[in-house]
Amino acid sequence: MYRQFYGLSHEPFNLNPDPKFLYLAQSHYDALSSMLSGINERKRIIVITGEAGVGKTLLIYAIMNDLPDKVKSAFIFHPTMGFQGLIENILLDLDVRVNERKNKLSSLLVGFRRYLHERLAREETVAVVIDDAQVLDNGVLESLLRFSTVEDPPTKMLQVLLVGHPGLEEKLKSIKLRHYKEKIGVKCRIRPFTLEEGREYVKYRLKLAGREISEIFTSKALSQVWKFSRGIPRVMNLLCERALLIGYKNSSPIIDSKIIKAAMKDFNYLWTGGKSTFLPKLSGKISRSKILGVIFFRSAFF
């Protein structure tokens, strides 16, 4: 609808994860670098946290694309299963055949260790990335950490990336899990955008869609977008998308503060009680083949 009106080749603020719209502010770049170096240097346990909507999942897709051939990877999303189910899903994503007749936990762990031993012989690394890791049951998390920190050569090939909300940090500080705190090789938190990063984020997305930021948004409108969103990229997308729809409906070629205020009314529920009560996850699913071609773009926008 509004694309033709504003001369846009794409919908720049669509929530569907599109790797070409990946924008790396300093905090995101640091997290990406930490994840890659943690895997390549075999730091064993890597913990990345950030508020909902800050861009953790898209960074995971970028990481999965950028891993060298010598790194075999598994991606587990929203792991609400038990430890046995978790190991089974990891093995399936690693293309390790699971014997349905012998899918007891002990058999699965033996199969996993055998797989790691094979990777050791080939000098390959295994990266298991778990998104929304904060939902892991404490017992499951403890079992995973125990398994992945065993001090033997094959297990050292296994790198576990725990990516989740700040609540994950609190779990790892619990009495039951604090023993593993010293075993965390990399720890990084992704922060929301600063005002300047928020402006560059909108600028970047509009530029990829064929327009300059000054041609569509006023400076005051952009400040309002950032302030309302609290620097959370997903909320910025929601607000900018709604503003463009309102602008189109009103035949307004420029998105000004009045239009932003109208759009804000539709999303006041996001901050009920001072916290985000509903931040919809990125919709759609990206296969690994579609992740190819991600460009880690920084220099022109810093």
- What's the pLDDT band for 16 if we cut at 50, 70, 90? confident
Q: Are residues 152 and 217 in the same domain?
A: no
Whether residue 207 sits in one domain with residue 185: no
> What is the DSSP secondary-structure string of 111-134?
HHHHHHHHHHHTT-EEEEEEETGG
Q: Where residue 192 falls among pLDDT bands split at 50, 70, 90?
A: very high
pLDDT at 176: 86
| pLDDT per position as a tens digit, 98-155 | 776 666 898 999 999 999 999 999 999 999 999 999 999 999 999 999 999 999 999 9
Q: What is the pLDDT of residues 243-281, one digit of tens each?
A: 999 999 999 999 999 999 999 998 888 875 545 544 444
Q: Which residues pair with 130 in a beta bridge?
A: 76, 162
- How many CA atoms are closer than 13 Å to the CA of 97, on its beta-carbon side? 2
Same domain, 291 and 213: yes
- CATH number of residue 72's parent domain: 3.40.50.300
Among residues 145, 160, 148, 156, which one has the least CA distance to residue 76?
160
Place of tokens 């593993």: 180
Q: Is 0.75 topped by the overall pTM?
A: yes
Of 9-13, 187-191, 197-201, 265-269, the range with the lowest mean pLDDT is 265-269
Mean pLDDT along residues 185-194 = 96
More confident residue, 301 or 119: 119
Residue 53 sits in the same domain as residue 131:
yes
283 confidence band (pLDDT: 50, 70, 90): very low
| For residue 202, pLDDT beyond 50 | yes
pLDDT at 291 over 50: no
Q: How many residues does the chain have?
A: 302
Same domain, residue pair 45 and 146: yes
Domain boundary among 125, 160, 190: 190
**Judgement on whether residues 165 and 283 belong to the same structural domain of the protein:** no
Residue that is last in its domain, among 190, 220, 241: 190
* Residue showing tokens 């709604």: 242
- Mean pLDDT along residues 145-167: 95
242 and 214, same domain (yes or no): yes
pLDDT at 102: 61
Longest Cα pair distance anywhere in the chain, in angstroms?
A: 66
Same domain for 141 and 276, yes or no, is no
Which residues span the domain enclosing 232? 2-21+193-301
Short-list 9, 15, 56, 52, CA closest to 242: 15
Kindly give the pairing relationship between strand 158-164 and strand 125-131. Answer: parallel
Binned at pLDDT 50, 70 and 90, residue 231 comes out as very high
249 and 207 in a single domain? The answer is yes
DSSP the chain: -HHHHHT-SS-TT-SS--GGG----HHHHHHHHHHHHHHHTT-SEEEEEE-TTSSHHHHHHHHHHH--TTEEEEEEES--S-HHHHHHHHHHHTT----GGG-SHHHHHHHHHHHHHHHHHTT-EEEEEEETGGGS-HHHHHHHHHHHT-SSTTGGGEEEEEEE-THHHHHHTSTTTGGGGGGEEEEEEEPPPPHHHHHHHHHHHHHHTT--GGGTB-HHHHHHHHHHHTT-HHHHHHHHHHHHHHHHHTT-SSB-HHHHHHHHHTTGGGGGGGS-S--PPPPS---HHHHTT-----GGG-
Q: Looking at residue 216, which CATH number applies to its domain?
A: 1.10.8.60
Do 109 and 218 belong together in one domain?
no
How high is the pLDDT of residue 64? 86
Residue 118 sits in the same domain as residue 259: no
**pLDDT digit string, tens, across residues 20-77:** 788 999 999 999 999 999 999 999 999 999 999 999 988 998 888 888 899 999 999 9
Q: Is the confidence at residue 19, as pLDDT, over 80?
A: no
CA distance 210 to 221: 20
Given 157, 190, 223, the domain boundary residue is 190
Q: Are residues 7 and 95 in the same domain?
A: no
Sheet holding 184-190, edge to edge: 71-77, 125-131, 158-164, 45-50, 184-190
Number of domains in the chain: 2
